[in-house]
Amino acid sequence: MVVFRCTMHRNPTIGESAGWERGTGGRNGGGGAESGKRNESVPAARAMIVDCAYYRDRARQNERPLTVERARELISTGMGFVWLGMKDPTSEEVGTATRAFDVPGLAIEDSEEFHQRPKLDEHGDHFFGVVKTAWYEQTKEEVHFGEIHVFLGPGYVITVRHGEAANLQPARRHLEQDHAVLLDVGPAAVVWSVLDQVVDGYDPVIAGIDDDIEEVEQAVFESGAESTERVYFLKREVIEFHRAVAPLIPPLEAIERGAFPQMPEELRRFFREVGGRVRRIDEQINSQRELLTSILEANLSLISVRQNQVVQAISAWAAIIAVPTFFASIWGMNFDHMPELGLRFGYPLALLVMLSATLLLYRFFRRIKWL
């Protein structure tokens, strides 16, 4: 069957180009006599709405995105649910869309804050969650983050992407084509699909950081290059990544043990699998932090050793130069009555004494490896 998806967007460079995408699938996702009769597409002016789909009987029931008003009508029947996807909307646009689904005001106010830590807040039968997407820029050794706000309630789920948040079309296709049976469970299945995609995106970040840590380690211990600044900034990126991943663990564990009765029991094992991957990634991040700390300490120790070697060399040469200077200062005094002034070989003997003392000191410092 043929499936149409709207990908209207203000900035086509972030993964969803303006216009219509046409995809194919082996499911009954593009059918529905009702959708063929009505003009339910979102106007082009409302480009912040990426997609709005109605799911029932394990399939998408509309070809083109629904309007918010039409979506509200459909979920009022008590059958199926609606998934509304938005990208970089204004606060007013979020308020308009969420109020149509009776989202609690406190959750709407909370969503107006950006750069939040991942969390899951319960508001009666409604939930508001935040999750961070991440991707790693290898050339700059920087982790880039996006933010996804999720509103979940009876008959609806709203995903709002901010900044560099990943395109959620793969999560939508994954749920519609590979796990259509979960559509019977309700809108919570969308939350699992989104989390599953987000956590999948963490693995390349871990791999990229591992590669850079290995390079830094070789630079510090093999080439002896100055890498303090690079190690510091890498550690900072790892800490930021940890702040995006670690807060996911408590809410996922709460879902696993059934702390939220509103979450269908059929989804618990799916959330448990995602939670296991998040815990594994968090352990890898902690290992990376410890390794970078050890590398930084080792690098500082090596720098201190090299500085000590320089100080030792300077001290050794200063001692060597001090001996002939001492003799010269004595024999260079201009007095009439001084011993050894009448010696025929006094001058060569003085030079021989200074040279011998200098060579002895040089051999001594070489033997104790100060030179």
What does the DSSP assignment read for 259-287?
--TTS-GGGHHHHHHHHHHHHHHHHHHHH
Work out the burial of residue 97: count CB atoms within 10 Å of its CB; fewer than 13 is exposed, 13-18 middle, 19 or more buried. buried
Quote the pLDDT of residue 34.
37
Q: What CA–CA distance (Å, rounded) separates 108 from 251?
A: 20
- Residue-level pLDDT at 298: 85
Residue numbers of the chain with a pLDDT score lower than 70? 1-47, 223-225, 330-347
3-state secondary structure of 254: helix
Q: Read out DSSP for 187-249?
A: THHHHHHHHHHHHHTHHHHHHHHHHHHHHHHHIIIII----HHHHHHHHHHHHHHHHHHGGGH
Other beta carbons within 10 angstroms of residue 87's beta carbon come to 24
Rounded to the nearest angstrom, the gap between the alpha carbon of residue 278 and the centroid of all alpha carbons in its chain is 13
Tokens describing residue 285: 């991040």
Identify the residue whose tokens are 């149509």. 100
What integer pLDDT is reported at residue 337 of this predicted model? 53
pLDDT of residue 9: 36
